[in-house]
Each structure stands twice: as structure tokens, then as C-alpha cells.
Structure 1
């Protein structure tokens, strides 16, 4: 369980769930054990604050930070579980990810300390509200040694190599989960669930579930995941890509046909299911050494496996009697089997690569010869197969190999430097997990010279000038009252001035023919060295060179370096050309500005003239149009007036004739219509004039 400060309330809740968890699991299995471990992170920067007071109390009411602690090994004492969880120390760290992978690795491989049993379902519940560090992150804290995948718990259950080796990789976790048949359950908060769901795809037999805010549902998570694990069986293998392994089973359909499947679900205690595996060689490897392959077929989460030792027959028909390579009772098979195509087919009661093992004799010994002592229950260090009370180590791709009486040694897990095993050829050799250095080399990875000759100044004297120590062929300077000494041989005094100022004027007159010294003064005073002129001055730190840079009266920079050769003679290299600032042409800028102002003014005048001309032409066109319209209206009005006048005269003339209305005939409609017709033009003309 993650016991950083953010998980404080979860810890309190989990301590009260111990008995409930035990009761729930005892309903499923009568043989149930419970244990508890906690983790925070590596106690180095930047994961944990290393300020002295924070190393004691990183947060309020917090204990000192730690990597991983096996608080309680697997036990049936659930009341002690509740007490241990309640008393477990909550601590704090700096970054968001935690050191959970260190905890998972130790909880898996430390079988004796954790209390894993040989014949048991093994569930590892991983509870956190944060992400995880993995292989490579240790470099941030200066930890570059890869994780070795071994157990490093002391007597108190504390992880001792937290600050000595990197976090495990996802591949290492997956490998150890498969080797130890661990079912890993990630019980995480909703914010982290998607991350761990992706992680479970890369770790065999693992699952992920959402943890409530106070971890109250951890009992249900464990129970559900256990039911899923125990109610199904799934077969997998580690065969190479040259092989194809196909699985068939009837599962719970006793009389049904065989179906192509590697998994059966819905199983109960006592249910028996059978599987058949078909192994097909898809193609023969070009390398004949790969024609012999060993792989395992195993059920996920169960500590059992079937080892298949396969020899591909790619070039000769030697299976049948009489063929080349077929011999019965062959010496290669201890005279107890048939030699077929380079492989022994043992007689009944015999087994082993060379039929050297007798079934009855091996059963009496029980495989004791494959373990170094009675304290371990792992045969052949977990890296080989016990055959006839002898360890046959797992094969590796050359030049890697596993060897030893109990497969305890290898030639590939030693320390590395710059990615090279034991610093590469010529430095040392990896033997049984440790670097054996050649003459003249030392160190864990044989990367350091054992001689101190490279730490002695060229002119002789003390090692590192008496101001430092020689480590790995280089001087590590001391810090004294006047400051820290520096230089390749710690020859530079921190309070002593350099020679840059002393050489300044000589460089000016010798290289650039400038400065306060005349030609005669330069020839007389600058005789201790002759500068080497180069295009570009670069400091060579391996030669312990000193860089000097100055500016002359014209603000031009000149650069040079000085050092001393093996005989103590001054050597100076100076840059060929001065680095002067670019010249500024003030007169050109002034004329340019004036010319730009004049051009802009002319452009504005031309634009104003164009707009004025366009406006004048529009006004003149408008005036012409209005003048023509006014002339037409005058003629029209004159014509209308004459028409109206003529109509009026006719009207009054008729009116005068018919002035006596009574003299008009009563039904003389003709005359009335004539009068009205004369009135109509008057009304029309008045309407048009308005």
C-alpha cells in the first residue's frame, strides 16, 4: 500500500477492514493468509526532500520517508493485521509518481520473507492514488545501476537497495510475475484507473479495479478478482516466433467437440478440464543452433509448467528405423534409449536429456541435489530445470550463459559503464555476476585505472599537487580555507591571479599591431612566448587551458588562451581576426530618411490632385444635367399656360351664352356635357401645375 500523506485516510479505513477481508475470503477458501507492506519512494532528490528536518518529518504528523517496508508477513492472525496497518508510518515525498515498482519487485521475489507458500494462489494487491516510477527514472536521482531483480530485505523487512539501484522495468515485473505465479491486482483511484488498465495489458495475469475515496471497497475488489482468477484457467507459452502453439479444449462441454481455445471460464472447485496443445514449426531458422529450442507451456497464475524441449528436423529424415542418425540403445542415451535425430527417446522408467535419470532413484532424492541448502525452496536458483537431481541451466543466446552447480552464476548481470559490461573488453570480465578486473583497472565496473601516474603533474611532484586525491585516474581536488583548488592536477590556487592581464598588451602588439606598446617596446618586453595564431580559439579542457577575452579602444574583442606544455613552457594561442561591431553609416541613414519623407510628400500631393480632379468633373457633370432639366421645364410651363388660357376663354364664352340657367332646356344634356368638357382641361392643367 502507498503510505504517502495523501493515503492517510485510506490506511485508517484499511485497518478496520482486516477482519472483514478475512471473513469474506474464508467463505471462499479455508486456508487464507494475509500480509501487509507499505512504500513511499527512494530517499534521494528529487523524489524526497533531503533537507535534514524534512528527512525527520516531511509533513505534519509524518514519519521519516522510506522505500519499501514489509510490515507483516503472510499470517492467519487478522487482528494483528489490523493493528500493524493502524500503526504503519505515513510519510511524504515531493513528486507525484511513487516507488511502487520497487515494492512490487521485493514483494514478489522475497518469497521467504513475505511468506509465499509453494502450493497456493498468490494475490498481490497494489493500492495507490498516484502513478509509478519505472526503469530509467532513477537517473534523475543519480542512480544508474539497473535493478537486479533479487531480494534485498533486511531482518526488519526494509528494502536496503532503494538508493543503490534503479526502479524495475515493466518487463522485469512481468517476468517475475510469471516466474513466481503471482496474480497482481491494481486497486487504484478513478484518476489513475486508465493508466493501470493499460499497464495490466503488459503484466500477465494482472487486473485493475477502481478504489473508492477511502478504500472502503477493497474487500469487494479482492473478492471479485479472486473469483475471476479461480473460476477460469488460461494456458500460455513462451515459444519463439518460429513456432505456433494452438490449444484445444472441451472446457465444461464433456461430450462436445474440441474447440480452439486457450481459456475455460465458469469453473468450480473439483471441476476437471482437459487441454490439448498442437505445436507447429512454421519455418526453420537459418541459424542451425536455433533448431533446438526449449519453451514452457503453463497455466496463468499457477506455479506449474510443462517444459518442451524441441529439436526441429529441418535437414534429414532420421525419425524412422534404418535412417541416418537413428540408433537404438545408443551410448549417447546412456544405453537406455533410442537416439533419433540427435535426441534421445528414453526407454520406460528413464528420463533426462541423455536418459541418464532413473525414475525410481530420482523420486527417492526428491530434487535435493538442485538446492544449495535446506533454507531455499527454489530449484536451480529459478534459472534452470532439475533433472536427475542435477541442474540443467536455462539456455541463453551466445555469448550470454548461465552456469554453476545450482545455476547461480551468469556472465551478463555485472555492473556496466557507458553501456559496456565491465567497461568493455580489455578492462575486465563478468564472472558469476561480478566484474573481475584486468591488471591496471579497478572499480565495480573495472572503469577506473589503478595507477596514479595520470594524477602526477608533467614536471613531477606530488599526486594531484598535494591538493587532492586520485580517483579513477583523475584528480578530485580538495576544498581548503582559501577555497577549492582546481585544474587537471589541482594546481590552480583559488586566490592566485591568472596571467590574462599580464599577457594582454603583448597579444595586442604581436598579433593585432595595436595597444599601448610600441614596436620597440613589444620586441623588448614580449619575449617569453610566441603566440600561435588560429582562426577560432576553442578551449581544450584536457590540456587545462585558460580562456582570456578583452576589448580594445575601438570596442573590438580579441580572444586568446594560455597553458603550459609538459616542460612547463608557456603556450599561447590567439584568434587571428578581431571581432569588431559592424559600422553604422550615419550620413546614409540621414539622406535615406530625408528622401523617404520627400517621396511620401510627393505621393500625398499626387493623390490629393487626383481626388480633386475627380470631384470637379463630377460637379461639372451634375451642373450640366441640372441646366438641361431647367430649360425643358420653362418651355413646358409656357405651353401649359397658353393651353389653360385658351380653355378659360372658351369656358367664359359659353358660360356667358348660357348665363340664364332657366333658359336651358330641362333635358338638354348635350349642352351640359359641352360645358363640362370645357371645364375638364382647366382642372387637369391646375393639377399638373401643382
Structure 2
């Protein structure tokens, strides 16, 4: 905080100066709550508050019917004269009070938009047209907003059609005057709807230069005593943005009721004008009642909460909680669609200040198209206000006085929040902090915690008097600390019984290495971590399998067949056994069949062998000769058959 001798930490706060609940209150309808807020913000510290909107039933309506009076709309005028009562009746289904007004537009009364011949200017319609035809005009206000539907019919019947040269009309001139002439039109503090009916397009800003008009529209009301816009030849047509601003500022919703052949142009404009919709009008305006009813419901069911006149340095975001259960993330405005009558939507608004304001500043939040608004006054907490003190403050553990955000502790207490008691007069915060520093370190709690009253409060999984122990830093095996077979103590594994190793990964048991007779690994290997590790010539779980026995022990069996008396140097401790049958012997040489077996009880090796006899050679020779003869005879037979087939 600025201008403070001590550090203080004030918190953002909000107070509702006006907070009428939504609903009908003593005949007054409230749709937006609260209505007035005062917020104190810290720079860089966001603050949120809630805004509620409930669409009211029976909210009063002002509807102004603005009609194109060019010659092509003559049949529409006849229908509109009759439909005033039906329009009001349809709106009274959703509102307790409806007022209706009427106005019309054609074109600026100057060339090249109309004929400049005096006779034609007075009566611009075709001579064959027998009904009255009035001179062209940019806008005429005919009837103030009134509940008298009969008056609407009477005044509309007194008006006659007109005519102009080019297809576009001066509709935007007319919309601007209807929006800004508040007193002349008679707009009330109710739902305001402007219905714009036309069968053609519109002139835009810049088109006035065709008639030598260069002054841009000033956005002000210029109606004379007869209700005519009398500055049409002085100011250019307004731009779309200018029209949108005037409608939004005056809380007016716009319904474009236009024919099918021009609806795309008006839809493009509607996207630029908030709270506006486009409805397709029949050629004779016979469907205008249904069009207005549907457009009204579409407009009122879309709730858009926006901010206006926000001071620089204040950022605003919205989270919308709509009646249909949808929940939007942070957005630049609040938005809910398809909100029915008597349904409530909630908006969470977040303010964030990036700079100090020189003085309290106000801005508004309002729902598009409605005149209700929430006034928000914001001041930033950038300077100290240290006059208030609080004895026995909870911020000081009830043991001190809070002054300008700082605790002045009672006697016998110390610490930032007076949380520490002193046992002796010599105790000090310095002495208590020193108790948290280990002899081989310069940081309290080894830099991994905070010192509170002489004791370390360690961060996360760190432990120890000085937070020096990390119980997750031990060796791992199979991605488990201490292989899951021990506990980590200050970086070292303490293994459970029957386990060893830096990560407790090794079992000290030998039960998985035992073979018959009490031996380990068939006496052909050693047991490590309860698993057999075999000598080079053996393999298998218990080292009971011999690698390539037929090749390895070939010298030994040849020695035995040769009747050498001493094969010790060749066979070692192998037990030689001569047998009579060779059917089960899998190894063979030119003179012998043999097999090698291991006794799993003691790991000793035994060799069974039988020499090949001469009789066996004869049998083998006879069998081989017979087999070869059969093959030769078969081949000769095949060749003879092939030759006979070729000859035939």
C-alpha cells in the first residue's frame, strides 16, 4: 500500500446500496438485482459479485409501428389500418399494459431521390392513381404512444401513400428520429419495441452526397410542430453504427418486418444492431401480428448483460448460469438464450483493476433492450487508512491489537499473528528462528518449510526437525519406493524381514532355489535373491537342463565305445552305463547311440549308451537299398507313361 509506514493488506469488499429483490414490489416490476453497488478493489486482486435477472410476467410494452409509405406499400397500409387492435391484443397476452404509436417514411424530398418538377412533387403518384397521394418526406411522426387503439386506426386512415424515384428508402432517417425523440414519441420506462415495415432496401451514410448533402447526421431530434423531420435536406443518412448506438442508448428493440426479396440485406444489418431481429412480411402485411408476436418472444428470451462507461484500468468478465442448465465460461458479456417468463438467470461478474483510480468512478451494467440497470461505483484501495484499531483481534490470535494491518502483541506473546508464547524475557523472534536452523545450514528448516515459534512446519512430504528428510527420495525398484518391501527413512530404505538391497529388491529366502535332496539349483548354480543363477553349461529354473548335451559329451561316449579303460580324463565324474536298447537314446554317432541324464537330487550326470553292431549295419543297408529300388522303379514307370502319352 502507498503512504504506509508499515505493511497492511486490505481486502476487496462490496456493499449493495440498493438491493430490491426481483419480482413485483408495490406495483413496480423489478427484473434486475441488485440495482446499486459500491465496490472497493485492490489493484491486481480480482473481486466477484452476483447479478440476478428474472424475466417478469406482464411487463408493460410500448410499440411504435414505423411504416414505409412508398407507392408499393399501398395495399399494406390498408391492412395495417385494420390490424392495430389485433397487434395490441396479441401483446396483451404477455403484458398487462400495451401502448401503440405510429409513424411513416418515404424519401428525402430532393433530387435525385424524387422528381423535382413542382407538379410531381405535390402529387408524386401516377395520374391513374385516383386515391390521395401526399408529397414525399423523410419521416413523419403521426401518433404518440397511446393505449387508445381506435385512435391508431383513425390517424392511420387519415394518412395517404406517397412515391419516390429510386428503390431505397429513407428508413434510417426515420429510425434515428424515433430513437432520439423521446418526449415527442412519448416513450415510457417500459419494454420499448420499434417495428420497421418495408418492402425495399435503405439508404446508408454517404448516399446523401448524391443530392449534395455532406453534413453527417448529428444524432439529435429534429421534428417540427407537424411531426415532420425538417432537417432531411441538411443532414446525410445515418450510418448503421450510429443507428445501433441510438437504439441501444435508448433501450429500444428493433423488429425488421420486410418482404422475402430483401430479408438477406436486413439480416446483415441486424447482425450489427444489438437486440434486433428480422421477420419476413407478406406482400400485403397480412401476417404482421404473428410476425410481431414471434419476434417479441425471440427478443425477450435472449438475455444479454453488458457493461457501459467502464473506466480505463478496470477489466470485466462474466460467467453465465442460465435457466436451461447451461453454464458458460468467462466471457466479455453475460448471455442466456431461450429464457421463459418467470425464469431466473444468474451472472457471476469479476472485476479486475490494473491501475489505481484517482477517485471513485461509476459505470453501469444493463440488459440489452431494457431500461433497468445496475450502477456500480468502484474505488481502488491504494492508500493507507490506519486510524482504526482492533483489540484482541482474531488476526492477532486474540492476543494483540490490530493496527493498520499489523499485530501489536500483548506481553508474553510474539510472532506475526502473536501466535508464539515467550517463556523467558530473553526470548525473541530471532532466537526462535535460530532454533529452526540446522548446524550445517544457513536457512531455516533447510529451505523446505517455515519456522513457527521455534519449530519447523515442513512443506509437503518433507519431515525431520529441520525438514531435512525427503521420504520420497529413496531408491525405487519396479517404480516402487523400496520395491514395496520396506519404508523410506530420510533417503534410505529400511527393508522388511527377508529383504535386502539398496531398494529392498532382493529376497534373502532360498525356497525358490531348492531342488530334491536339499540341494540348491541342482548343484549347477548359486541362489541369489531367491533365484537360481546357473553355471555356463546349464540352464532352467533350477539349472537342471544341460546345454547341447549330444555335442558336449560326444568325446566321453566315443571313449567308452572304444573300450578305453581309463576315460576319467575325458568323462570326469560322469557315470557310464551300457544298455541293450537304443529306442530311447536321442544322440547318435557313426558307432554309438547315447543319451545324457541328470540326477536332480545330487546334480550328478549319467550317460546311457549302446554301440552300433555289424548286424545293424546290414539291416540298415538292406532297408536303404530296398527304399532306393522302389524310388528308381517308380521314376522309370512315370517316364514310360509320359512317352506313351506323347506317342498316342
What TM-score bracket applies, with the shorter chain setting the length?
0.3 to 0.5
Q: Compare the two structures and name the one with the higher helix fraction.
A: 1
TM-score scaled by length of structure 2 = 0.45
Structure ranking higher on relative contact order (CA contacts 8 Å, 6+ apart): 2
Higher strand share: 2
